[in-house]
Amino acid sequence: MSSFVIKSIGNALNATSLVSSKFAAKKAIKLFASPRKGRYTEVQRQVINSSYFEELQYDSLDIATYRWVGKNKTVLLAHGWESNASRWEYILKDLKAQNYNIIALDAPAHGRSGGKQFNALLYSEFINVVAKKFKPEVLIGHSVGGMASIFCMHSYQLPSVKKMVLLGAPAHFTGVFERYKTMMGYNRRITNGMNNLVVERYGKPIDYYSAANFSESIDAKGLIIHDTNDRIIPYEDGQLFANRFKNSELISTTGFGHGLKDESLTPKIIEFINQ
């Protein structure tokens, strides 16, 4: 959305909050959780056409999975916000060359998976369902896919997972939430209302959902890759993971941005997996 549209929506909800702050807060959270893109384009479908497609289920929602069969380690790929499994095109060839058994999934309300709303907690449940079926030894998550992978491991301590790769992952939900509020220009009525709704729906305050803190409970080895010029998720988030995630290492890049789609990183990821 353009800055003009964003500001217009924010102003409209601020005005609405004068009548009902809770109604405005609900609308703000719904907007926050509604991806504008992420369904497949015709070009993106070509990436997954070579895979074996299978649908799993969580709470009456379809989970779209894609598998490229191999005899080596099983690797599960979790994409980020407003994306889908096709984002892994840049790395698939090299992973296939290692004869990995590759699994990718589409997040809630993304790709071919079901739902209209997205959040990292729901995504973590999708990842858990897929992981329990395919028993991956490696989890690779980009952006919120990395956060959701941490949430999943914290909740379920999946025994098959021995290694995790976090690509530009947000270290805490508070930062993501606050950046959204600031971008939209929401007033105090809405921001307080959003915080209260999170507690009502999930039973915990926003600052409880810290992927960095949750990573302290994970025994798997971690590889954290974050760009110093990431304009979506600050580099400090990568540093925080490196400080909290025991048995992890941080690779800092410059110039690869939030996407981190650079082939020079692939050998480092493969080396980490094969260690």
Q: What pLDDT score does 5 carry?
A: 80
Q: What pLDDT score does 1 carry?
A: 60
Residue 120 to residues 5, 188, 202: CA-CA distances in angstroms? Answer: 26, 24, 12
Contact 242, 249 (CB under 8 A): yes
pLDDT at 102 over 70: yes
Q: Which two tokens stand for residue 220?
A: 């798997």
Mean pLDDT value across residues 139-166: 98
Q: Which two tokens stand for residue 48?
A: 């997954």
d(CA 186, CA 182) in angstroms, rounded, equals 7
**What are the E-state strand segments in 194-233?**
221-227
pLDDT at 130 over 80: yes
**What average pLDDT is seen over the chain?**
96
pLDDT band at residue 167 using 50, 70 and 90 as cut-offs: very high
Q: What pLDDT score does 166 carry?
A: 98
Q: For the ranges 80-94, 113-127, 171-185, which has the lowest average pLDDT?
A: 171-185
Q: What is the pLDDT of residues 55-97, one digit of tens each?
A: 999 999 999 999 999 999 999 999 999 999 999 999 999 999 9
* Of 113, 114, 56, 55, the residue nearest 84 (C-alpha): 113
pLDDT band at residue 3 using 50, 70 and 90 as cut-offs: confident
Q: What pLDDT score does 7 carry?
A: 80
Q: What pLDDT score does 23 carry?
A: 95
Neighbours of 3 (CB within 10 A): 8
Q: What pLDDT score does 65 carry?
A: 98
Q: What pLDDT score does 2 carry?
A: 65
* Of 49, 133, 45, the residue nearest 84 (C-alpha): 45
Q: Which domains does the chain have, with CATH numbers?
A: 1-32+173-209 (no CATH), 47-169+211-274 (3.40.50.1820)
pLDDT at 41 over 70: yes
Q: Which residues pair with 54 in a beta bridge?
A: 65
- Give the three-state DSSP class for 216: coil
HSE of 18, CA atoms in CB hemisphere, 13 A: 5
